[in-house]
Chains A and B, each alone.
Chain A
Amino acid sequence: MKKLIIGLALAVCASGTAMAQERTVRIGTEGAYPPYNFINDNGQVDGFERELGDRLCEMTGFNCTWVTNDWDTIIPNLVAGNYDAIMAGMSITDARKEMISFTQRYKPGDPSSFLALEGADESVMTGVVAAQSNTIQSSYLADTPATLVEFPTPEDMVAAVRNGEVDAALANSAYLSDVINESGGRLVFVGEPLDIADGVGMGLRQSDNELREAFDAAIKELEDNGELQVMLDKWFN
């Protein structure tokens, strides 16, 4: 009986301390931007950010769950508290910093490139150009002579290039190179890659200092011990 009581007391204490450390963190992502994040055939979030995010949660001791959300409402739903963090290939920009805060970047600024049908020349870069709405690419295009057409998902944007609805699309080079490799030569890069991104970070509520400090430290550690580079090489060769 005595043993049982002690055992119970220990169990209660153990669960008590575990509770204190384990904050549940819901991570929101788009699930439509391979290799950053996508939904695999098991219906699970997969990709570079899934692997990195899970590792960060393991290091910080948070209990993480993944949630998918439409790109266009991904920031409003974060500030409304539907989830606690965004890992969705989101570039750190000043405009976004007005709404949310970011951790340090976990991926250096990714170049953006123009995608067009084969045989296109550089004139398409100033023609009708597609971009995903609310992205750095769409705000970049808005300041160029090109006519900007916005699409809600990267998939729709690529489809518009394929069927000639637009002359070209501007998007993250890593995303586009997969698309180009598997297009059987129908799609090509046009022009030189642009350096318009400051790097990709995790988006957090401005009031959430606890998460920012924890994740910042964890990302720093992965960066220093080279683990982050291994992941980057694996997903972005």
Chain B
Amino acid sequence: MCYLTTVKHSMFYWSFGIVLALLALTAPAALLLGFLGAMAKRSQVAVVRWIGSIYTSMVRGIPDIIFFMFVPIALGQGIEYVRHKIKCPDVTEPIRQGNDFVVCAAAKFPLGSADQWVHQTYGFALATVAFAFVFGAFVANTIDGAMRAVPANQLETGHAYGMTRRQVFWRILVPQMWSYALPGLSNLWQILIKATPLLFLLGVQDVVYWARELGGSKTSRYEYPHGDWRLWYFMVLLVFYLLMTWGSEKVFRRLSTRFARGQATQAGQQHLEAKA
């Protein structure tokens, strides 16, 4: 019993919170980014449209793992580069010295002297940005497709009533497109849940890291020696991820009934019939 309450185990339990926090932060951020991306793709301004298309096709075409490595490193070094220029203008040594990336101590971000939790939070924040960036592109495509699925006649009717483009967009297009976007979004959500073990690549100690670390066989150098218990720890993860899937399916089912209300779709029709 003492075994399951070691500090190391509480770090394992805590890491479930980290995964949930990542999901809770990434999902809305990716949704927002995706919405903006979809708007950009539909924009009347050519340059904005290009930015939207480049963003989505670039992320979709390049392996995710490259982005998960690239975004945090680029962002981290970018921030330190800017801070170096501002805080240490008189340092003449180059920042790139051979293989090394060297900025002055004051430009380190977070500062080298900062507590470990600051470093961890920073790493977590970078991970969130990377996840949001990648998933935002997929969301953008899903939403763009959903917007195209809204019957054009309805939009024309809106224009005929004298609504502006903006009004048509917000009052007719957006409320209706959710119903079409939802199946795609629920897919993305599931993929996002499954992608969380990639956190360890970004230096965040997530559930998979701890399960591997705790389950790995322990010699008597440790307080509680044991054999290879990874199977049991991974079982716990299996249950966790299954529960997540089960819960999210329930939520998405509710959402899709909610958004189907009043729609010119089969599901919307069923709503009307149920009422009658």
Contact = CB atoms under 8 A, between A and B. Distances in A.
B222 A40 contact: yes
B99 interface: yes
Nearest to A38: B221
Contacts of B97: 206-207
B249 interface: no
B228 interface: yes
Contact of A81 (B102, B113, B212): B102
A206 B98 CA distance: 8
23 contacts: A24-B111, A32-B213, A34-B221, A40-B8, A40-B223, A41-B6, A41-B7, A42-B6, A67-B116, A70-B201, A80-B77, A100-B99, A155-B217, A158-B217, A178-B219, A179-B217, A182-B219, A182-B225, A205-B102, A206-B97, A206-B98, A207-B98, A207-B100
Contacts of B113: 24, 63
A65 B116 contact: yes
Interface of B: 6-8, 10-11, 73, 76-77, 80, 97-103, 105, 108, 111-113, 116, 119, 200-201, 203, 205, 212-213, 216-217, 219-225, 228, 230
A82 interface: yes
A159 interface: yes
A89 B212 CA distance: 20
Given A38-B222, A63-B113, A155-B217, A81 B7 contact: no
A162 B119 contact: no
B219 A80 contact: no
Contacts of A40: 8, 222-223
Contacts of A153: 212, 216
Contact of A179 (B105, B203, B219): B219
A39 B155 CA distance: 61
B179 to A, nearest CB: 43
A100 B98 CA distance: 10
A158 B216 CA distance: 10
A84 B80 CA distance: 15
A88 to B, nearest CB: 15
A207 B223 contact: no
A35 interface: yes
B244 to A, nearest CB: 25
Contact of B200 (A38, A63, A70, A178): A70
Query: Counting chain A CB atoms within 10 Å of each CB, which of B97, B101, B216, B224 scores highest?
Result: B216
B213 to A, nearest CB: 6
Contacts of A68: 205
B8 A42 contact: yes
B45 to A, nearest CB: 38
Interface of A: 23-26, 31-32, 34-35, 38-44, 46-47, 63, 65, 67-70, 77, 79-82, 84, 99-100, 153, 155, 158-159, 162, 178-179, 181-182, 205-208
Contacts of B216: 32, 153, 155
B100 A79 contact: yes
B228 A159 contact: yes
A207 B212 CA distance: 35
Task: Please list the 7 inter-chain residue pairs (A to B) with the smallest Cβ-Cβ separation, ordered nearest first.
Answer: A155-B216, A24-B113, A41-B6, A24-B112, A178-B219, A207-B97, A42-B7
A82 B221 contact: no
Contacts of B10: 43
Given A32-B216, A80-B73, A81-B80, A43 B7 contact: yes
A40 to B, nearest CB: 7
Contacts of B100: 79, 81, 205-208
A66 B221 CA distance: 19
A24 B116 CA distance: 12
Contact of A41 (B8, B73, B108, B217): B8
Contacts of A41: 6-8, 222-224
B6 A35 contact: no
Contacts of B111: 24
Contacts of B98: 206-207
A93 B8 CA distance: 34
A63 B10 CA distance: 27
A38 B223 CA distance: 12
A174 to B, nearest CB: 11
Nearest to A47: B221
B224 A79 contact: no
Contacts of B101: 79-81
